[in-house]
A and B are shown apart, each in its own frame.
Chain A
C-alpha cells in the first residue's frame, strides 16, 4: 500500500528564518516524490520532484528536499522564509508511471513578519 503522511498540519515561522515541512511515505515500490504548493483559491504549482536521480533535489523559489530511503522521508526545506511562501504545501508520492498520485493531507505554512 502507498501512503503519504505530512506530520504537521500547520507550521508557523518568522520571515527570514528556516522552513521545514515534514513528509514521510510508504510505498511497496521505488517511488517518485513531489512537493506542490497551493496558494489560496489557486491550482497546484510544482516545487520539485524526485525521480530516482540525485537524492538532494533543488526546486524553485529556494526550496529543496532530500530523499532518505532509510527514513522513508522527503522533507521540504528552505533556508530563509519569505512572506510570499505562505501557502499550503502538499507532498505527493507517485506510482504507475506518474498516473497515480497519492496526496498528503497538506501543511499550511504561515510566515510572520
Chain B
C-alpha cells in the first residue's frame, strides 16, 4: 500500500519549452502533496507543498511563476516547469500523505529526471 507514481521518469527538452510532471497516489487519497528537487550528490530540497483544491505554498527562493503546481484531485498533482533552462536540470521527486493508509508519513514517488538542453 501507499504507492506514489511519477510520470515521466525521464524527460529531455529544449531550452525555453515547458515540461509537465505528474505525481499520482495510487491507493490512497493524498490530501497533501509535496515537490522536492535533488541536485547530484545532495539531499532533497522542498520546493512546495500543495493541498487538494488549494494554491500551493512555495518555499523561500522558489519561483512560483516558473514552477507551477496544480493539485486538482486527491490523487493527482502536477508540476510544470515553464520556460525551462539548463539550470533547471535536476531530479524532481514528489511525495504524498493523507488518509488512514498514509497519514503519518510522506510516501515518495520514484522521481523524474529532467535534462534541459
Contacts and interface: CB of A to CB of B under 8 A. Distances in A.
A105 B108 contact: no
Given A43-B93, A44-B93, A98 B108 contact: no
B44 A90 contact: yes
A98 B43 contact: no
Nearest to A4: B43
Dominant secondary structure at the A interface: strand
A41 interface: yes
SS class, residues of chain B in contact with chain A: strand
Interface stretch (B12-20, B61-69, B77-85, B109-117): B109-117
Point out which of A36, A43, A46, A90 has the most chain B C-beta atoms below 10 A from its C-beta: A43
Nearest to A36: B108
Contacts of A94: 105-106
Contacts of B87: none
B47 to A, nearest CB: 12
Given A90-B43, A99-B32, A101-B46, A41 B105 contact: no
Given A90-B43, A103-B44, A104-B43, A98 B105 contact: yes
Please give me the 9 A-B residue pairs with the lowest Cβ-Cβ distance, nearest first: A44-B108, A43-B110, A43-B108, A103-B43, A43-B111, A103-B44, A105-B43, A43-B109, A106-B43
Interface of B: 4, 6, 32, 34, 42-44, 46, 49, 91, 93, 95, 97, 103-111, 113
7 contacts: A36-B108, A43-B110, A46-B107, A94-B106, A98-B97, A99-B32, A105-B42
